[in-house]
Chains A and B, each alone.
Chain A
Amino acid sequence: MSSPEPDKDRVIADLKRQVAKLQAEVAVLQTANARMNKERIEYLQNVSHQLVAPLNAIKWHIENLTSSRIGLDRAKKVLRSIYSQATIAVHLAKNFVFMSNLEADHSLSALREPLELVQLDRLLVNLADDFQPLGWNKEIDIHVDTKGFYNVPDVLAIKPLISQVFSNIIENALKYSKKTSVIEVEGRYVPADDSVVVTISNEGIPLEPGEVARIFERGYRTKEATNAYPAGTGFGLYIAKKIMDIHEGSILVESPRSGRAVFHVVLFVKKLQGKAREWPKKPSS
């Protein structure tokens, strides 16, 4: 008859191995959790920093306005600055809403408003007007080639989402453009596949081929971009790409030798027509 002791020892050794294995797995999970917590804290710090900066500038501008010595010309200048800073704050806040929704749901279903026909040149001119004051300091002009849009039909899209795609590209272009330069916004209709291509280009930081491939990744920022503007999040183009995926369109970037960064946004005029019924209906007013 065999003794039960060797079996007991084997069971204990086996249990010890399993405990060690579980401890190693727990350690891996703890490390991953600590990394995620660190990333979350850094993200929140970055978000706070970016939002507080324009809000604080607005606060100081208002203090300037309430000063007793202010004249009309100075007041106008201060109000223009308040408008620019408010534009930045609203733009950033929208991006953070998109990001928090994307973290939970990659199809952004909570933000899907009804599809509608969007007149792209009007949308882009309005955005250019909104963002132009941010370029004054560096003497950067945003030029929308409205003539080029004459043959561009309206496209079926979710307007607030598409608007954010263009806002993110234009805001980036303003941040990274050279002083005294022009951001060109052009549009053309491509009958072959019934698509519209909106091209936004600026003269600024050239992109290396390796960077072009990664620029739509979540949180990715090129070294040059980080040096030029340390407080960025690297979320703008990631959000733009996700929104274009929802529209079954595309967003492409090229960086020719001329040093211009060129973004092409491709939207299909009627591709989503059959899907309009599946999406929320526009409430009747």
Chain B
Amino acid sequence: MAQKTVLLIDDEQGFLEALADALESEGYRVLTASSGEEGLRIAAAEKVDLVTVDVMMPPGRSLEDRLSSLTTGVYIVKELRKSFPKLPIFCLSVITDEPTIREIERSGGRFFRKGETSLKHMLATIHSALTGTVRSGYTIHRWST
């Protein structure tokens, strides 16, 4: 099976390192971006199989005026969805209000609360979204768009 590529868009270095490290040790190719602008640029240039997006992060200079009232994460989900209708997009955040979560889900992203999701669960969910199979011991809804 060809190596799958996961793009992580997040400005929190610790989170980025932890997830990137775990994914790489599982054999995935990992690309990282620390702003929305950088994330969109990489997604357009590389063949990416799954994206994780932090909800609250810097947009990057070229996106500053385009966000309107949207948080960066929601804007990124909407932009990615326009170009990649089937791409699994996971949104992660420590605190996000219900309307924002609903907006993420309406836009085609799936929301995870950082403090409440274990790394093991996150890896299993990513694995499930990329392979369509569920690891033993996990009940994970299959990714569908």
Instruction: Identify the closest chain B residue to A61 (Cβ).
Output: B18
The answer to whether B14 and A84 have CB atoms under 8 Å apart is yes
Q: B-facing mask of A43-60, CB < 8 A → 1, else 0?
A: 001001100111111111
The answer to whether A229 and B58 have CB atoms under 8 Å apart is yes
Residues of chain A lying within 8 A (CB to CB) of residue B115: 52, 55-56
In the complex, identify which listed stretch (A29-37, A66-74, A123-131, A185-193) lies at the interface while the others stay far away. Answer: A66-74
The SS class assigned to the A binding surface is helix
Complexed CA–CA distance, A48 and B95 (Å): 8
Complexed CA–CA distance, A67 and B61 (Å): 39
The answer to whether A74 and B25 have CB atoms under 8 Å apart is yes
Known: A49-B95, A63-B119. A227 touches B18 (CB 8 A): no
CB of B136 closer than 8 Å to a CB of A: no
Interface residues of A, count at CB 8 A? 32
The answer to whether A64 and B21 have CB atoms under 8 Å apart is yes
The answer to whether A53 and B18 have CB atoms under 8 Å apart is no
Residues of chain B lying within 8 A (CB to CB) of residue A164: none
The answer to whether B13 and A74 have CB atoms under 8 Å apart is no
The answer to whether B22 and A45 have CB atoms under 8 Å apart is no
The answer to whether A45 and B95 have CB atoms under 8 Å apart is yes
Across the interface, B18 reaches (CB within 8 A) one of A49, A81, A134, namely A81
Interface residues of B, count at CB 8 A? 25
Residues of chain A lying within 8 A (CB to CB) of residue B12: 53-54, 57
Known: A45-B95, A48-B94, A52-B94. A57 touches B21 (CB 8 A): no
In residues 75-111 of chain A, which contact B (Cβ within 8 Å)? Answer: 77-78, 81, 84-85, 88
In residues 68-108 of chain B, which contact A (Cβ within 8 Å)? Answer: 72, 94-95
CB of A219 closer than 8 Å to a CB of B: no
Instruction: Identify the closest chain A residue to B120 (Cβ).
Output: A63
CB of A160 closer than 8 Å to a CB of B: no
B47 CB, min distance to chain A CBs, angstroms: 25
A175 CB, min distance to chain B CBs, angstroms: 10
CB of B4 closer than 8 Å to a CB of A: no
Known: A52-B115, A64-B119, A227-B59. A57 touches B15 (CB 8 A): yes
Residues of chain B lying within 8 A (CB to CB) of residue A63: 18, 22, 118-120
CB of A26 closer than 8 Å to a CB of B: no
CB of B40 closer than 8 Å to a CB of A: no
Chain A residues with a Cβ under 8 A of chain B: 45, 48-49, 52-61, 63-64, 67, 69-70, 74, 77-78, 81, 84-85, 88, 134, 137, 227-231
A-B contact pairs, 8 of them (CB 8 A): A52-B114, A56-B114, A57-B12, A60-B15, A63-B18, A84-B13, A137-B13, A228-B58
Closest 9 CB pairs of A and B: A57-B14, A60-B18, A63-B119, A85-B14, A60-B119, A52-B94, A49-B94, A52-B115, A81-B17
Q: Given A58-B14, A61-B21, list of 9 further CB < 8 A pairs?
A: A54-B14, A56-B114, A56-B115, A59-B119, A70-B25, A77-B21, A227-B58, A230-B56, A230-B72
